[in-house]
Amino acid sequence: MIPIAATRPQASVPDLAGVLARRITILGSTGSIGISTLDVIRHARAKYGEGVLPVTALTAQSNVKMLIEQARAVRPQLAVIGDETLYPELRAALVGIGVETAAGRGAIIDAASRSSDVVMVAIMGAAAIEPAIAAIARSATVALANKECVVAAGGVFREALARSNAAVIPVDSEHNAVFQVLNGGDAGEVERVTLTASGGPFREWTLERMEAVTPEQAVAHPNWSMGAKISVDSATLMNKGLELIEAHFLFALPSQKLDVLVHPQSVVHCLVTYEDGSTLAHLSAPDMRTPISFALAWPRRINSPSRKLDLPALGQLQFHTPSPERFPCLNIALDCLRSGGLAPTILNAANEVAVGAFLGKRIGFLDIPRVVEATLEEGARASRNEAPSDLYGVLHIDARARTVAGEICGRISA
C-alpha cells in the first residue's frame, strides 16, 4: 500500500524567501483551523515583511460576516461563500476592492482548483472530499487538516495522488507529529505508532453520568479550542477512531501497528516505536498553529505565534489505556479499520449525522455510537463490503449512509 502523506524526493530545499512567497488558499477560513491559519500568516507578515504568504482564495460555508472581514484584511484574489443566499451580502461588501466573489458548492471546488502553492483544507466533514481532490489533481501542496475526507475516501485519495505531483502534509496534530518523526524514513522499520488522546471532557465520567451530557458540556474541550463537530468527536473518542483510520491511509500502516494512549496533557502527540526498541516522540504545546506553520513552510520551518512548551510548569506527563466500555466509538472505528471496504465511509457519514443530531438536541450523547453502529449494520446487510472504487462511489455510499443514519436519529427522537 502506498502512503498518502509521503515525502517525495525534493529536487532542492527551497530557500526561506521561496517559502515566504508561497501563495496560500484557505478552504474553511472561518473555522477554528482557518482562523489559526490566518493568524500564522499575520504573524509571518509582522516578522518577515508585509507581502509574505499572499492569499489566493478564502472560502466559507455560512459565516459571511467573518469572511468579509477576513477578505478585507488579507485581500485574496477570490472569496467564496458556500451558501448562495448569502452571495448578495458578500458581493456588496467586497465590490471595488479587487477581490473577486463567488458562491455555491461548485465555486468552492473552483477555488481549490485555482492556481496557488499550498491549499489548507480546513473544511469540516466529508464536504472536503471534492475540493481536496481538486487541489491534488492540480499538483498543489495540500495542508490537510480535515480527516473525514481521508477516512471516507482514502483509496480515492491514493489514486488521485498517483496521477499527480501533489504532496499531502498532515495538519491534524498527531499525524503531523508522525510525519515529522518518520521524516520520510522507511515505515517498514516501524513496529508501532501510538496516537495520543486527551480523553476529552468526560475522561473520568461513568456511563450513567454520560447519558445526560449536553452539547454545551461536550464542546467544552479541556485542552484544545476547536469547531463543534470535532469537539464532540473528542468527547466520544470517535475523533481518535477516525484518526486511527486516517493514520492507516496517510502512512500505509496496518491496524496491528496502530494504537492509542490517553494522555490528558496533550503534549506528546505521537510515539513511534522502531524494531530496534527506540521510541521517538513528538512534543509541543497543544496549539494548532504549530502544525499549521509546519505545513505552510515544509520542508523548512518558519517563526510561529504558537505557544511554546514549558515542561517544568507542567511537572508531569501521564499516559493510560482508554476504556472501551465507556468510549465504544473507539472500538467501532477500530472494527471499521480492520474490515475496510465500505465501512470507513459509512462510519464517517453516520457519525457526522449523529453528531449533528446531538448538537441539535434531537438525540442524546450515548445515542451517537448507537446510531453509528445501527447504520453500519444496515450497510453490511445492504451491500458487499467492497471499497468504493471512485469518487462517485464514495459520494453515493456517503449519501446513502446519511439517509439511513438520519432515519435512525428520527426514530430515536420520536
- Residue 144, contacted partner among Mg ion, ligand NAD, none, CB below 5-8 A by kind: none
Is residue 287 near Mg ion by the rule CB under 5 A? no
Spell out a b/e string for 338-366, using b for 16 or more CB atoms within 10 Å of the CB, else e. Answer: eebbbbbbbbbbbbbbbbbbbbeeebbbb
Q: Which stretch binds Mg ion (CB under 5 A): 38-46, 165-173, 248-256, 327-335?
A: 165-173
Q: What one-character-per-residue DSSP string does 247-311 give?
A: HHHHHT--GGGEEEEE-TT--EEEEEEETTS-EEEEE--S-THHHHHHHHHTTS-----SPPP-H
55's enclosing H/E stretch is strand 55-60
Cβ proximity to ligand NAD, 172 vs 367, nearer residue: 172
**In the bound complex, what is the minimum distance in angstroms from residue 74's beta carbon to Mg ion?**
26
What distance in Å separates the CA atoms of residue 353 and residue 275, rounded to the nearest whole number? 41
Cβ proximity to Mg ion, 33 vs 109, nearer residue: 33
- Residue 155, contacted partner among Mg ion, ligand NAD, none, CB below 5-8 A by kind: none
Q: Which stretch binds Mg ion (CB under 5 A): 117-125, 169-177, 259-267, 277-285?
A: 169-177
Cβ proximity to ligand NAD, 122 vs 182, nearer residue: 122
* CB-CB contact of 400 with 407 (8 Å): no
Judged by the rule CB under 6 A, the positions of this chain that interact with ligand NAD are 28-34, 60-61, 63, 82, 108, 122-124, 127, 145-148, 172, 224, 226-227, 229-230, 288
For strand 118-121 and strand 24-27, is the pairing parallel, antiparallel, or unpaired? Answer: parallel
- Residue 146, contacted partner among ligand NAD, Mg ion, none, CB below 5-8 A by kind: ligand NAD
* CB-CB contact of 150 with 253 (8 Å): no
Pick from 19, 23, 111, 172 the residue near Mg ion by CB under 5 A.
Answer: 172
Compute CA distances 352 → 105, 199, 401, 403, 408, whole Å: 19, 20, 10, 12, 13
What grid cell was written down for 111? 477555488
Residue 270 exposed, middle or buried by CB count within 10 Å (0-12, 13-18, 19+): buried
- Residue 127, contacted partner among Mg ion, ligand NAD, none, CB below 5-8 A by kind: ligand NAD
Cβ proximity to ligand NAD, 290 vs 374, nearer residue: 290
Give the per-residue contact string, 321-360, with Mg ion (x = CB under 5 A; - = no): ----------------------------------------
Cβ proximity to Mg ion, 111 vs 151, nearer residue: 151
Cβ proximity to ligand NAD, 260 vs 374, nearer residue: 260
What distance in Å separates the CA atoms of residue 152 and residue 293, rounded to the nearest whole number? 26
- Minimal CB distance to Mg ion: which residue? 172
Contacts with Mg ion: how many residues (CB under 5 A)?
A: 3
Cβ proximity to ligand NAD, 306 vs 374, nearer residue: 306
**In the bound complex, what is the minimum distance in angstroms from residue 133's beta carbon to ligand NAD?**
14
403's enclosing H/E stretch is helix 391-413
* CB-CB contact of 208 with 325 (8 Å): no
Cβ proximity to ligand NAD, 30 vs 374, nearer residue: 30
**In the bound complex, what is the minimum distance in angstroms from residue 173's beta carbon to Mg ion?**
5
* CB-CB contact of 200 with 234 (8 Å): yes
The residue type at 72: R
Binding site for Mg ion (CB under 5 A): 172-174
